[in-house]
Amino acid sequence: DEFEELRDCMEKLQLNDASLTFELETSQALGFGFRCGFLGLLHMEIIQERLEREFNQTVITTVPNVSFIAYTTREERIIVNNPAEMPDQTKLERIEEPFIKAQIITLPEYIGNIMTLCLGKR
């Protein structure tokens, strides 16, 4: 079965790349697959290239997304990976999203450009 073969390949890659994470994911459009965690787009491209070169596996990648955590009025914690998984708004207490708090130390002449860059990446 191709799916099991891909799982074996991912496990082998994970043995020498501890930063690679993956878990089973089911999509109505694509069927069974994996939700993978990478260190960035370059890391994703490297893993995809290794799957093709070392294991002869051709994979379909989708655009990266961010998971949210939804808390219901019944105090349930739900990890939301796509809009279809979002609970009914009338049952939501709050939604949390990942963010970063960073301190940037720089020379005064670079502050304007850094502020522009940070605001553009919000």
pLDDT tens digits, residue range 54-81? 999 999 888 888 899 999 999 999 999 8
pLDDT the model gives residue 122: 66
- Percent of the chain whose predicted confidence (pLDDT) is above 70: 99
Q: Report yes or no on 103 lying in a domain.
A: yes
Q: Report yes or no on 61 lying in a domain.
A: no
Which CATH number fits the domain that encloses residue 38? 3.30.70.870
Spatial strand order in the sheet of 77-80 = 77-80, 68-72, 92-96
Q: Report yes or no on 37 lying in a domain.
A: yes
Whether residues 50 and 75 fall in one domain: no
Q: Report yes or no on 122 lying in a domain.
A: yes
CA 8 and chain centroid, separation: 21
pLDDT the model gives residue 69: 95
Whether residues 84 and 115 fall in one domain: yes
Specify the pairing of strand 68-72 against strand 77-80.
antiparallel
* Beta strands in the chain, from DSSP E residues, in sequence order: 21-27, 31-37, 68-72, 77-80, 92-96
Q: Report yes or no on 89 lying in a domain.
A: yes
Whether residues 48 and 86 fall in one domain: no
Count of structural domains, the chain: 2
Whether residues 16 and 50 fall in one domain: yes
Whether residues 51 and 74 fall in one domain: no
Terminal alpha carbon distance of the chain: 42
Positions of the chain with pLDDT lower than 70, given as ranges: 122
pLDDT the model gives residue 79: 93
Domain that holds residue 73: 66-122
Whether residues 115 and 78 fall in one domain: yes
